Amino acid sequence: PGPIWTLPCNIELNITFAFGGVAFPVHPLDTNFGELGLVDDGGAPLCVGAFQPIGEAAQSADYDMILGMAFCECRRAVVCCSV
């Protein structure tokens, strides 16, 4: 497993990514995966961040994180097609 970002579980994050001048807000519930049994030095629960940092072994130094399903969750699209 690679590195993870953690955050206090009682924190609500407001995150917006911008690509080409278009803003894509992420719902606060989609910013972490929950406790998963982690605690900080004081014993308080830590939540695992939904976005993954790219590890040092990555093939490119041009990128900082993997957005993955946490980002796609808030970008749903409905496509209608007929057969």
pLDDT of residue 68: 65
Contact predicate 30/74, CB 8 Å: yes
Contact predicate 51/6, CB 8 Å: no
pLDDT of residue 61: 64
Q: For residues 42 and 49, what is the distance between their CA atoms, to the nearest angstrom?
A: 19
pLDDT (tens digit per residue) in 29-72: 888 888 888 888 999 999 988 887 776 666 666 666 667 666 66
pLDDT of residue 11: 87
pLDDT of residue 23: 86
